[in-house]
Amino acid sequence: MLKISELYIYPIKSLPGISVKQALVTKTGFEHDRRWMLVDKNNLFISQREAPQMTQLLAAIENNGLKITHKINGESFRVPFYPPPAGGRGARAEVVVWDDTCEAEFVSDEADAWFSKMLGMKCRLVYMPDDTRRMVDQTYAPGDVITSFSDGYPFLLIGQASLSDLNSRLAIQLPMDRFRPNIVFTGGKPFAEDLMGNFTIGGIDFQGVKLCARCPIPTINQQDGSRGKEPIKTLASYRQKNNKILFGQNLVHNGEGVIKVGDNLKVLSYNDDERFMVNIPAEKIS
């Protein structure tokens, strides 16, 4: 039996995630997930790829907004759930996430100054308002599917068995936070998520649409921001296809509601075409 074991929300893109016992599924993904983002002077998104010091900013969800705390110096800053500053909505601008351009709101000058100081680089904090509609890649998920400031899809699913398989090949065991999933499940074979087509969690329908091609972020220690060669070096030896290293499954969904740790994951159909097959084929769930 497959069961949900961990759920994560990442309110500000590329900051460490928050482990939760339950999460509200909305049109764009989990509530509050990647609704905020840091951008540079050209309004291009900033991530741990170029700023690993982002690992030192911890987010907490409070009643009226986010509390961001620097892990080392203890300084904190509060971000309201729904900016604006006093007097109306914040100024809007076009921001860039990979190949997408979408509209966002600047949160405040105070937020920009605080994050710039904490990261040691000039940046601005933006928020995705409810009327912004950022579509997922229609090549993999045709239809009216939207997402937030995620890399491309509302959810990322990883099986605990997949991480255990990887760790069996590594000299030093790595935690799940290296891979930044939204949903983790136990049970099944390693990489069973590769072939999951349609499935349900807590009465909500999900669909696996694209294996997740990994960037260098999994090589960044989420505790101290240091970089290494693993796990990308080892994954490349057995999870590479078309020059992409694959780990996890991107999801879209239909429906809204709450899912919880302990919920069953029930597979209804499987993806069995070539693009879901990697060097070591995933096994279907019995």
Which 8-state DSSP code applies to residue 131?
T
As a whole number of angstroms, the distance between CA 210 and CA 194 comes to 8
CATH architecture of 3-28+137-276: Beta Barrel (2.40)
Cβ–Cβ < 8 Å for 57, 14:
no
Closest by Cα among 222, 226, 238 to 168: 238
Q: Which amino acid is at 196?
A: M
Per-residue pLDDT of the chain (286 residues; tens, 9 = 90+): 999 999 999 999 999 999 999 999 999 999 999 999 999 999 999 999 999 999 999 999 999 999 999 999 999 999 999 765 544 456 899 999 999 999 999 999 999 999 999 999 999 999 999 999 999 998 899 888 999 999 999 999 999 999 999 999 999 999 999 999 999 999 999 999 999 999 999 999 999 999 999 999 999 999 999 999 999 999 999 999 999 999 999 999 999 999 999 999 999 999 988 888 886 544 443 3
Signed CA dihedral, 94, 97, 102, 107: sign only: negative
DSSP strand pairing (183-186 vs 155-159) = parallel
Instruction: Report which secondary-structure segment, H or E, holds 33.
Output: none
Q: What are the tokens at 277? A: 């097959």
Q: What is the largest CA-CA distance in the chain?
A: 58
Which 8-state DSSP code applies to residue 201?
E
**CB atoms near residue 44 (< 10 Å):** 11
pLDDT given at position 244: 95
Indicate the domain borders of the chain. 3-28+137-276, 34-131
pLDDT given at position 29: 98
pLDDT given at position 286: 36
The torsion region of residue 242 among left (phi > 0), alpha (psi -120 to 50) and beta comes to left
